[in-house]
Chain A
Amino acid sequence: DAGVIQSPRHEVTEMGQEVTLRCKPISGHNSLFWYRQTMMRGLELLIYFNNNVPIDDSGMPEDRFSAKMPNASFSTLKIQPSEPRDSAVYFCASSFLSDTQYFGPGTRLTVL
């Protein structure tokens, strides 16, 4: 079975550019989570969806960040405009009925 798929795996961009991260959850899972991990702040939950509906976006840093889940098999996290402090590893995870979260391999974002 395919796990959670994220793309790209690495992204290097310049300050001010738009960045879009993509996630395909495990088929049949009804919840999807976006996390950010940095050395300073550890693992932070940014937003999560249940049945494609955003439930809690209190972790989204600011208006530069937005996330969508147009269907059960796809989600995006967009940063516009990007800043150097957004450099981090971004994880997507999915789960079924509030049980185990399975993580994707992550996207390592570097903003110059």
Chain B
Amino acid sequence: AQTVTQSQPEMSVQEAETVTLSCTYDTSENNYYLFWYKQPPSRQMILVIRQEAYKQQNATENRFSVNFQKAAKSFSLKISDSQLGDTAMYFCAFIENRDDKIIFGKGTRLHILP
């Protein structure tokens, strides 16, 4: 069965620190997409970063980067120089190739402390 596991329900870090959110997933497919979404208190679901499984290079978006380990089925998100605006729920997710439905993890609630 397709699953996404986020083992850290909640985390807190000081502003300007670096934080890593972990995610593991299970799939029997070789081609798929991986995502991190951010949901701030406004409840808007915002795409943070996207990774194509066939690409070995880790995706980066400004202060956000991923560590994609395909063999280990691991997809962690690193936030550098964290800011107060990064406070949000973060969801890891993936879509298998040829499928439409996205599988979400249960989320990690991240607090950035001033």
Interface residues of A (CB under 8 A from B): 31, 33, 37, 42-43, 45, 48, 50, 55-56, 89, 91, 93, 95, 98-103, 105-106, 108
Compute how far the CA of A87 lies from the CA of B106 in the bound complex, rounded to whole angstroms. Answer: 20
Closest 6 pairs between A and B when the two form their complex, measured CB to CB: A103-B45, A98-B100, A106-B43, A105-B44, A31-B100, A101-B102
| B104 located at the interface, meaning its Cβ lies under 8 Å from any Cβ of chain A in the complex | yes
When each residue 39-54 of chain B gets 1 if its CB lies under 8 Å from chain A and 0 otherwise, what string results? 0001111110010000
Q: Inside 8 A of B100's CB, which chain A residues have their CB?
A: 31, 33, 48, 50, 55, 95, 98
- Are B33 and A99 within 8 A (Cβ)? yes
Q: Inside 8 A of A37's CB, which chain B residues have their CB?
A: 43
Instruction: Looking at the assembled complex, report how far the CB atom of B59 sits from the nearest CB atom of chain A, in whole angstroms.
Output: 12
Interface size on B, residues (CB 8 A): 21
When each residue 89-100 of chain B gets 1 if its CB lies under 8 Å from chain A and 0 otherwise, what string results? 001000101111
Contact of A102 among B47, B97, B99 (CB under 8 A): B47
Q: Is the interface of A mostly helix, strand, loop or mixed?
A: strand
- The closest CB in chain A to the CB of B35 belongs to A100
Compute how far the CA of A69 lies from the CA of B37 in the bound complex, rounded to whole angstroms. Answer: 26
Q: Inside 8 A of A91's CB, which chain B residues have their CB?
A: 45
Residue of B35, B101, B107 with most partner-chain A CB within 10 A: B101
- The closest CB in chain A to the CB of B96 belongs to A98
Q: Inside 8 A of B98's CB, which chain A residues have their CB?
A: 98
Instruction: Looking at the assembled complex, report how far the CB atom of B13 sits from the nearest CB atom of chain A, in whole angstroms.
Output: 24
Compute how far the CA of A83 lies from the CA of B102 in the bound complex, rounded to whole angstroms. Answer: 28
- The closest CB in chain A to the CB of B32 belongs to A98
Compute how far the CA of A108 lies from the CA of B67 in the bound complex, rounded to whole angstroms. Answer: 35
Compute how far the CA of A97 lies from the CA of B113 in the bound complex, rounded to whole angstroms. Answer: 39
Compute how far the CA of A45 lies from the CA of B101 in the bound complex, rounded to whole angstroms. Answer: 8
